[in-house]
Amino acid sequence: MNAGELLETFLDTYQSESAELDIQLLTAHVMGRPRSWLAAHLDAPLTPPQLDSAHQAFARLKAGEPLPYILGHWEFYGLDLDVTPDVLIPRPETELLVEKAIRWLTSRPEARSVADIGTGSGAIAVAIAMRVPGARILATDISYNALKVAKRNAEKFHVHHSIDFLQCDLLPHPAFGTPLPEGEGLGVMAFDLICANLPYIPTQALHELPIYGREPTLALDGGVDGLDLYRRLLQLAPDWLAPNGMMLLEIEASQGAQALSLAYDSFDEVKLQLHQDMAGRDRLLILRPTQT
C-alpha cells in the first residue's frame, strides 16, 4: 500500500474538523518524513512495519488520544517541541504571551531575569531563551514529570544553560528562605519578568470539555472560577517582581474583569492592560507595578 491509498483508507473512517491534516501528519510521522514531502510522494510505498505502526497510531487517534501525544512532538512558535501526556499541548494562543515577553526584554537590555511559572513542556521558557541573548530563566512546575519534558526541550534547542528548573508549587515565598538554584543559576530573589500560563479552566466547565481526561487535569483545572492559581500567584508577586518589572498572565477569555480586580488587590499601584488573541477574545493580562 502506498501513502495515498493509506490516506484515503483512514479518511473514510475518521471524522474531524482537521481530519485531512491529522491523517497527513500521522502518515508522514510513521514514514519518518515531513508532511511537505508526503504531499509530493503519495505513491511512495510503506514497509510492513510502517503499515503496522500507522494502523496502531490511527487506532489511538480514533480512540480520542490527542495527535501531539501520538506524534510525541508539536510545533510552538516555530519550535518543534517534545510533548508527552504529562504536559499540556502548547497552543497558538500562548504565542501572544511569548511575543510580548520577547519584545519587552529586547527593548530593555538591563532586564534579563525571567520566571516562567508552571512551565509544562517548557514552551515559553525555551522560546524566550532562543530569542533573547543573555536571558536567565527560572522555570517552575509542581510536576516532576513535566519538568523532565521541559529539560529535554531545553537541551534539544541547546538553551539548557540559560534555564534553571525548580519543582515547586508556583514560587516559594521569600519568607520561607527557600533558595533559588545557585552555581550557573539565577541567584536572585526578584525577577524582571514573570510569565505564567497556569490552569485557568473552571472545574465544572473542564468536565464538560472534550479535552477532559485526555490532557493532564493538573495543567487545566483552575478551580471553581478558574482563577485559584492566579489568585495565589498574585499574592506572591509583589515579593518576587523587581522594580520596573512586568508580569504576563494568560487567562481564559471570560476572566478579564476578574483578573484585573485580583491584580489591583495585590499591588498598591499598578498599570494593567488586557490584550486580545487573534479571535478578539481577552487572553493576556499585562501587569506593571508603578510602586514595588
* pLDDT band, residue 174 (cuts 50/70/90): low
Structure confidence by residue, pLDDT tens digits, 139-172:
999 999 999 999 999 999 999 999 999 999 998 6
In-domain check, residue 273: yes
pTM higher than 0.95, yes or no?
Answer: no
- Say whether both 219 and 91 belong to one domain: yes
Q: How far is CA 159 from each of CA 4, 94, 234, rounded to the nearest angstrom? A: 39, 20, 28
User: Lowest-confidence range among 57-61, 79-83, 101-105, 177-181?
Assistant: 177-181
Instruction: Report the 10 Å Cβ neighbour count for 144.
Output: 10
- Say whether both 38 and 132 belong to one domain: no
18: domain CATH number is 1.10.8
In-domain check, residue 218: yes
* pLDDT band, residue 16 (cuts 50/70/90): confident
Range of the domain at 33: 3-64
- Say whether both 140 and 15 belong to one domain: no
- Say whether both 163 and 281 belong to one domain: yes
Angle, nearest 10°, between helix axes 94-106 and 123-131?
Answer: 30
Q: What is the DSSP secondary structure assignment for residue 77, as one 8-state letter? A: T
For the chain, the distance separating the N- and C-terminal CA atoms, rounded to the nearest angstrom, is: 66
- Say whether both 225 and 122 belong to one domain: yes
- Say whether both 24 and 118 belong to one domain: no
Structure confidence by residue, pLDDT tens digits, 70-80:
999 999 999 99
CB under 8 A, 24+ apart: contacts of 181-184: 181/138
- Say whether both 29 and 110 belong to one domain: no
* pLDDT band, residue 175 (cuts 50/70/90): very low
- Say whether both 49 and 176 belong to one domain: no
- Say whether both 102 and 184 belong to one domain: yes
Q: What angle do CA 240, 151, 34 make, to 5 degrees?
A: 125
* pLDDT band, residue 183 (cuts 50/70/90): very low
- Say whether both 122 and 225 belong to one domain: yes
3-state helix, strand, coil in the chain (%, to 5): 40, 20, 35
251: domain CATH number is 3.40.50.150
Structure confidence by residue, pLDDT tens digits, 19-70:
899 999 999 999 999 888 998 999 999 999 999 999 999 999 999 999 999 9
Q: How many domains does one find in the chain?
A: 2
- Say whether both 34 and 113 belong to one domain: no
In-domain check, residue 69: no
